[in-house]
Structure 1
Amino acid sequence: MKLTDTLVQCLENEGVEYIFGIVGTETLDLDDSLSKSTKIQYVNVRHEQGAAFMADVYGRLSKKAGVCLSTLGPGAANLVTGIASAKLDHSPLVALIGQAGIERQHDESHQYMDIVKLLEPATKWSTQIQDPKMVPALIRKAFRLALMEKPGSVAITLPENFAAEQIANTPLSVTPTPETVPDAASLNAAKDLIQKYTKPFIIIGNGVIRQDAVQELITFINSLQSPATHSFMAKGILPPEHQQNFFTFGFKENDAVLAGMNEADLLIVIGFDFVEQLPNAWNKNKLPVLHIDPLPAEVNEYYPVQCELVGNIKKTLEALNQAELTVKSWLPSGDLQAQIKTTYQINQNQQESLNIENVLHLIEKFTPENTIVISDVGAHKVSIAKTYQPKKPDRLIMSNGLATMGIAIPGSIGAKLACANDPVICITGDGGALMNFAELETAKRLGLTFTIIVLDDSMLKLEVKQMNNKFGNTYGVTFQNPDFVQLAQSFGVKGIRPKTLAELETILKEPQQEIVLIDLVTQNPQ
């Protein structure tokens, strides 16, 4: 059996369902082997960056490692942004990359560059197959590392001269990743720490979703009755109406939650990833910290850890919930929840304008609670992080680690393949939309159904605001757009340009039966 046949067997053994990528000369044998698989669907995309974004979002939602594929040189370089995004957003991803044969890796050679070194800072592990017989071990290690806390991206390069080599190896067994739980002494120390303070404030991170610890966390919060807030990527863990829900923190401007956190005397930080925002932005008072996470705390003067519960979050909270904790019921002064709702425009319609906040209110009101909203990066991401209130966890997907534009349209493909029965709504600015708009053809070819909302204002709105605040004028942040409705139609996709909020409401109420692009013109092109 040739090496690439064995590699595909190893991928099947890992439960891989989809591989997103573009074939090149160096990956022809792998493509041939994939064509014989009855378990894996190869999704040929229009750009390698789109492939990585699809694998990223598919990995987040399926809880499996998403897989992307490229050839050497420019193909590998095009993967970098998506691979780096998966690493910083802690999405499990495995990249398979063709490479020049070993015989020409020591000279200046056509399209050759050291991909392993290129991807080292963008991955948890980057390696090249040096011995064909090691393929089963390398694939098993790659998937294990990609899924292990904290999840992230892994890259394996395959030299072309090995691809067709005959080997007799078979896949290695897939075994569960060991889960640890804090010992009794640590749990008792955490209990004593909570008992010591009167005003704990709970910070919820995306690790709670990754480790399937939502119900255990809600039980903990209900028992303690202390206020709690979410990072951007953790939104939806607490129901919007939960009395301890102080919504979202992590904003550079007008972060209304900080007033409540500053009144606390202890921060209980659960599954929070520093990549979303460093503690010096939200713990300026250097309040003591109870750290609950699969990994030990990072050393930081603004993160003064008094106690650490290191281990599986779900099992840690189960153990903590068995302790008889004293209720720590308190509320920040000044009816802070109401202030946050006003500041963040939560459930507060502003007349009948087609602004992003009103669009989000319509999505909340007229779409099923299992709807997945995918946000691209831009000014609208901040609005979504503030205003939008998903009713369930893992129903709002955004890039907040690398915070990279262009993820939303290809990410919607990954989301729909991971969650075929759930409606998907992609919200993107015009800048991010055109970065990977070609993947609309991929989605149409696959027969997927989802909704794309393009915020069409002919500018990079966030940078316009920042430049005006800093310099009083702008430069290099405006452009001209195509007619998005006609552009969508050229892909065989339905394009609509609603003029009123009522028209948009009618569109959103309709069940998703095809891909629909909604062009929301918020400012006439200049």
Structure 2
Amino acid sequence: MKASDLFVRALENEGVKTIFAVPGEENVDLLNSLKDSDIRVIVTRHEQGAGFMAATYGRLTGQPGVCMATLGPGATNLITPAAYAQLGAMPLVMITGQKPIKTSKQARFQILDVVELMRPVTKFTRQIVNGNTIAPLVREAFRLAIEERPGAVHLELPEDIAREDCEHRIFPVVGHRRPHATQVVLDEAAAMIESAQRPLLLIGAGANRKRICAALTEFVEETGIPFFTTQMGKGVVDERHPLYLGTAALSENDFLHCAIERADLIINVGHDVVEKPPFFMHDGDKTVIHVNFSPAEVDAVYFPQLNVVGDIAHSVRQLAQKISEKSHWDLQYFMTVKTEIETQLSRYFMDTGFPTLPQRLVQILRDTLADDAIVSLDNGMYKIWFARNYKCYGSNTLLLDNALASMGAGLPGAMMAKMLYPDAQVVAVCGDGGFMMNSQELETAVRLNLDLLVIVLNDHAYGMIKWKQQGMGFDDFSLDFGNPDFVTYARSYGANGYLVNSDQHLQETLDHCLGSPGVHLIELPVDYSLNHDILNVQLKNKACAL
């Protein structure tokens, strides 16, 4: 059969239902083969949009999302989504085209060594040089994409190879069970936890899986050990739980770190050094037990004393069975810290000033949205406030990126979430800088008939870097810019646009948008003037002897 047809059969064999694409002429054979397939091709307005949507599919389903682009500039535009998926442990399969490799009539026009470009940001990258290798390469690419740690893989299909005749052979999809941690190491971990005076549980991004969520909830209930999360571990255990202390949105010196510093043992479940550190280890400071699918990658601030390596859900359940709450555990201070954290975080929840404080927006959204609503964040100053202040009631209900932390992913991520969960409320929260990096995907959202709300926080600047600039004692310099009329801009794509002009108007507009079909964009002027005072001055001067 034709090689491009075989490629499609191999994708169907992997269960692929959708490909997000900006096709080029080097993809036309594959595109034509997809015409007679049940696989849906969704054309986006930029390769980043396609890549971010596919990566978010992987994040939310655990199965590889698939995107496609042409050679040269199309392929280079996938580098950022590739790194986003690779660092964030999201299974992603990228397919790119290429000029003929057996003969050439266009010299080096548009030709880059895409395989080598992809190598640093993928688990696997390969050019297909023979049609008969398509089926095993597709199977291997998908296998590697979901194997722990999940990540990005890439296949390049040159147009002359796509047109070859080849053998019709498909390889079966064979699953496997993850190995379990040994009883010896589980017994050692249990003994360390029981002998500790002040144990704490930390939940990281790698624990954000359905089976692990249930296991960790049981662990917390049965042991009574308080827990906190990394940014990408939010929602694994319902954050309304009385033993939830908070989220480490900063690496040090937040109120939460009072509890972390007092702990003598931390059970770190599902974290790796790719995510921004939730705390810094120091020699003799505390004992850390690393519970993950693979051993800890050691660096200067993370060097756990014990690795519990194996299927995380199994390890957590085994530990819960082996551990009983101990009378010598001294956990009261953690509850005192929890009370102080909640007092500090709620200080501006009811501030009705305008422009809106990010803390106020977080609280309005939490009060307004359903328990299972999904908020997809772009990257900017507001991400810190959402990580600290927004309580998640379920896994993956706050989509933020604390690995690559790329701007431009918030809107495509929200679009993918809405496609997967059409009955859920989905809100994208973007800064004006990040939104404009992929704002053209509003057209894609309108074309797909999505019911989606996009909130653009407008401060006419790269606000996160302004905060960093101020914190380092530098002058305010070179970070301001102008913006379009976002209301008119949204309407030009067929979406609905609204400019909020007061706190009451924000609530009214949110209620209207969430109750109406279609794509809605709210432009919200935001006030970041308290960032430095709260996150630099007040936290620096806090006292942990609460």
The TM-score, its normalising length taken from structure 1, stands at: 0.95
CA distance in 1, matches of 2:421, 2:283: 40
Offset of 1:411 from its aligned partner?
A: 1.4
Q: Which residue does 2:345 correspond to in 1?
A: 344
Asked if the contact 2:442/2:493 (under 8 Å) is kept, the reply is yes
Tell me, what secondary structure is at the counterpart of 2:470? helix
Asked if the contact 1:269/1:291 (under 8 Å) is kept, the reply is yes
Tell me, what secondary structure is at the counterpart of 2:428? strand
Tell me, what secondary structure is at the counterpart of 1:213? helix
Change (3 A) 1:390 1:109: same
Moved more, 366-375 or 235-244: 235-244
RMSD in angstroms over aligned alpha carbons? 2.1
Asked if the contact 1:279/1:302 (under 8 Å) is kept, the reply is no
CA distance in 2, matches of 1:346, 1:218: 29
CA distance in 2, matches of 1:211, 1:294: 15
CA distance in 2, matches of 1:515, 1:227: 40
Q: Which structure 2 residues correspond to residues 498-509 of structure 1 after superposition, within 5 A?
A: 498-509=500-511
Offset of 1:211 from its aligned partner?
A: 5.9
Give the paired residue count: 523
Q: Which structure 2 residues correspond to residues 152-191 of structure 1 after superposition, within 5 A?
A: 152-191=151-190
For 2:416, which of 397, 405, 414 is the aligned residue? 414
Moved more, 227-236 or 414-423: 414-423
Offset of 1:303 from its aligned partner?
A: 3.3
Asked if the contact 1:144/1:177 (under 8 Å) is kept, the reply is no
Tell me, what secondary structure is at the counterpart of 2:415? helix
Deviations 1:279-314 (A, max 9, x none): 773557641111110001123454343322211111
Q: Which residue does 1:23 correspond to in 2?
A: 23
| One-letter amino acid of the counterpart of residue 515, structure 1 | V
| One-letter amino acid of the counterpart of residue 241, structure 1 | R
Matched, 1:318 2:322: no
Q: Which residue does 1:7 correspond to in 2?
A: 7
Matched, 1:137 2:136: yes
Asked if the contact 1:128/1:158 (under 8 Å) is kept, the reply is yes
Identity rate of aligned residues, in percent?
33
Q: Where does structure 1 differ by over 4 angstroms across 4 or more consecutive aligned residues?
A: 104-108, 282-285
Deviations 1:464-516 (A, max 9, x none): 12222324422221011010000000001000112222222223334251110
CA distance in 1, matches of 2:325, 2:245: 21
Offset of 1:358 from its aligned partner?
A: 1.4
Q: Which structure 2 residues correspond to residues 59-458 of structure 1 after superposition, within 5 A?
A: 59-103=58-102, 109-210=108-209, 212-252=211-251, 254-278=253-277, 281=280, 286-300=285-299, 302-327=301-326, 328=329, 330-332=331-333, 335-345=336-346, 348-353=349-354, 354-458=356-460
CA distance in 1, matches of 2:252, 2:279: 14
Asked if the contact 1:345/1:386 (under 8 Å) is kept, the reply is no
Tell me, what secondary structure is at the counterpart of 2:200? strand
CA distance in 2, matches of 1:154, 1:98: 15
Tell me, what secondary structure is at the counterpart of 1:281? coil
Q: Which residue does 1:473 correspond to in 2?
A: 475
Offset of 1:250 from its aligned partner?
A: 4.1
CA distance in 1, matches of 2:283, 2:382: 27
Asked if the contact 2:47/2:69 (under 8 Å) is kept, the reply is yes
CA distance in 2, matches of 1:409, 1:159: 31
| One-letter amino acid of the counterpart of residue 37, structure 1 | S
Tell me, what secondary structure is at the counterpart of 2:322? coil
Offset of 1:18 from its aligned partner?
A: 1.1
CA distance in 2, matches of 1:346, 1:34: 55
Asked if the contact 1:375/1:408 (under 8 Å) is kept, the reply is yes
Q: Which residue does 2:32 correspond to in 1?
A: 32
Can you give the 5+ residue segments of structure 2 that lack an aligned partner in the other structure?
Answer: 529-546
Asked if the contact 2:270/2:292 (under 8 Å) is kept, the reply is yes
Asked if the contact 1:206/1:234 (under 8 Å) is kept, the reply is yes
CA distance in 2, matches of 1:489, 1:190: 57
CA distance in 2, matches of 1:393, 1:381: 17
Offset of 1:322 from its aligned partner?
A: 2.2
CA distance in 2, matches of 1:276, 1:490: 38
| One-letter amino acid of the counterpart of residue 338, structure 1 | T
Can you give the 5+ residue segments of structure 1 that lack an aligned partner in the other structure?
Answer: none
| One-letter amino acid of the counterpart of residue 342, structure 2 | K
Matched, 1:55 2:54: yes
| One-letter amino acid of the counterpart of residue 275, structure 1 | V
The TM-score, its normalising length taken from structure 2, stands at: 0.91
Q: Which residue does 1:496 correspond to in 2?
A: 498
Change (3 A) 1:334 1:190: closer
